[in-house]
């Protein structure tokens, strides 16, 4: 009831003086403009967010055995992607539980979560990776194994639209995210998010892809 009285008083004030400004719930600012009998209240909303999860893992529970490393991607960084290796079921179960704990907060029901690929990336100081996505999966993840700090840069999926149509707002729209992760951190993100790795770091990361099977799929 107090909010209704406040709103009524505020609108009457605007109608009398032509314009006004006030703080709403949570500190949001409402701007009001009055022209003749037309009253406009403006409230800004940020839409189309992308969920990214950050967690910590026990590196001793993540085991990749007898893996072959070879130059991969255009950058030639050494990885075990699509190479012969053995991954204990305990490692898969442990990582699956962490991923499920995070993505289940979105409230989407599914029948199965499957890690479809898991590999190690080993970096020298001059190594890098070009911008890329992880195709044919729904979620991807990076575990920072032996790093001084992370070198991954994540890119806004609609950054090109900002560049072409709204460059004057580049400071408002976050175009890239360059987080500072440490060893033991894990980031889980939608596989369509483009990302790349800048040079300067020495160490290793573990990457993987996750396929979500829905309840209606056989």
Q: pTM to 2 decimals?
A: 0.79
pLDDT-wise least confident of 67-71, 118-122, 128-132 = 67-71
Q: How confident is the prediction for the chain on average, in pLDDT? A: 85
Residue 141 or 201, more confident: 141
| Beta strand pairing call for 19-23 and 29-35 | antiparallel
Q: What pLDDT is attached to residue 37?
A: 55
- What are the pLDDT digits (tens) for 135-171? 999 999 999 999 998 999 999 999 999 889 998 988 8
- What are the pLDDT digits (tens) for 82-129? 998 999 999 999 999 999 999 999 999 999 999 999 999 999 999 999
Domains and CATH numbers, the chain: 2-42 (no CATH), 53-213 (2.60.120.620)
DSSP the chain: -HHHHHHHHHHHHHHHHSEEEEE-GGG-EEEEEEETTEEEEE----------EEEE--GGG---BS---EEETTTTEEE-TTS--B--HHHHHHHHHHHHHHHGGG----SEEEEEEEEEEEE-TT--EEEE--TT-SEEEEEEEE-SS--EEEE-TTHHHHHHH-GGGTTTS--EE-----TTEEEEEETT--EEE-S---EEEEEEEEEEE-TT--
Q: What pLDDT is attached to residue 140?
A: 98
Contact between 84 and 103 (Cβ < 8 Å): no
- What are the pLDDT digits (tens) for 12-54? 444 444 444 444 444 444 445 555 555 567 788 888 889 999 9
């Amino acid at each position: 009831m107090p909010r209704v009285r406040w709103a009524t008083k505020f609108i009457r004030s605007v109608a009398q003086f032509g314009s006004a400004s006030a703080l709403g719930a949570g500190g949001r600012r409402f701007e009001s403009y009055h022209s003749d009998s037309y009253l406009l209240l403006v409230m800004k909303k940020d839409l189309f967010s992308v969920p990214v999860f950050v967690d910590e893992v026990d590196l001793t529970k993540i085991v990749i055995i007898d893996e072959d490393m070879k130059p991969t991607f255009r950058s030639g960084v050494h990885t075990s992607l699509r190479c012969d290796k053995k991954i204990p079921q305990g490692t898969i179960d442990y990582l699956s539980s962490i991923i499920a704990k995070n993505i289940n907060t979105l409230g989407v029901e599914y029948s199965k979560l499957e890690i479809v690929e898991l590999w190690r990336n080993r970096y020298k100081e001059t190594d890098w990776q070009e911008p890329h996505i992880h195709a044919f999966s729904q979620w991807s993840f990076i575990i920072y194994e032996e790093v001084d700090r992370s070198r991954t840069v994540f890119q806004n999926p609609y950054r090109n639209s900002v560049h072409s149509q709204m460059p004057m707002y580049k400071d408002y729209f976050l175009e890239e995210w360059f987080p500072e992760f440490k060893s033991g951190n894990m980031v889980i993100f939608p596989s369509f998010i483009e990302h790349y790795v800048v040079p300067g770091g020495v160490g290793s990361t573990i990457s993987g892809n996750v396929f979500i099977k829905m309840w209606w799929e056989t």
